Amino acid sequence: MLWVAEGFRRRGLGKRLLRMGETEAVKRGCRQAYLDTFSYQARPFYERSGFEVFGTLHDFPEGHERYFMRKTLQAPPGPAAAG
């Protein structure tokens, strides 16, 4: 789970936490990531981080959508990527 308290948002913390999680996932051999979020939450944040919607539940909860998103993880450039 990734959640940043309201008073700490818009400081780049979410972006840094997400990047750290992705880096650790790649180190552990992961090549894909997926998540879900709601229309009243952080879809634009995840899209800016390279995630794309692959499924939507409409009116879930009523009046909103639930989005399922995915991203292909890339090893960072540099010597570690070649190893």
pLDDT in tens, 29-58: 999 999 999 999 999 999 999 999 999 999
- Number of H helices and E strands in the chain, helices first, is 3, 3
CB 6 within 8 A of CB 42: no
Superfamily (CATH H level) for 32-75 = Gcn5-related N-acetyltransferase (GNAT) (3.40.630.30)
What lies within 8 Å, CB to CB, of 13 at 6+ separation is 4
From the list 4, 29, 5, 26, the residue with the least C-alpha distance to 16 is 4
Spans of all domains in the chain? 32-75
Q: What is the pLDDT of residue 32?
A: 97
pTM metric for this prediction? 0.84
CB 67 within 8 A of CB 37: yes
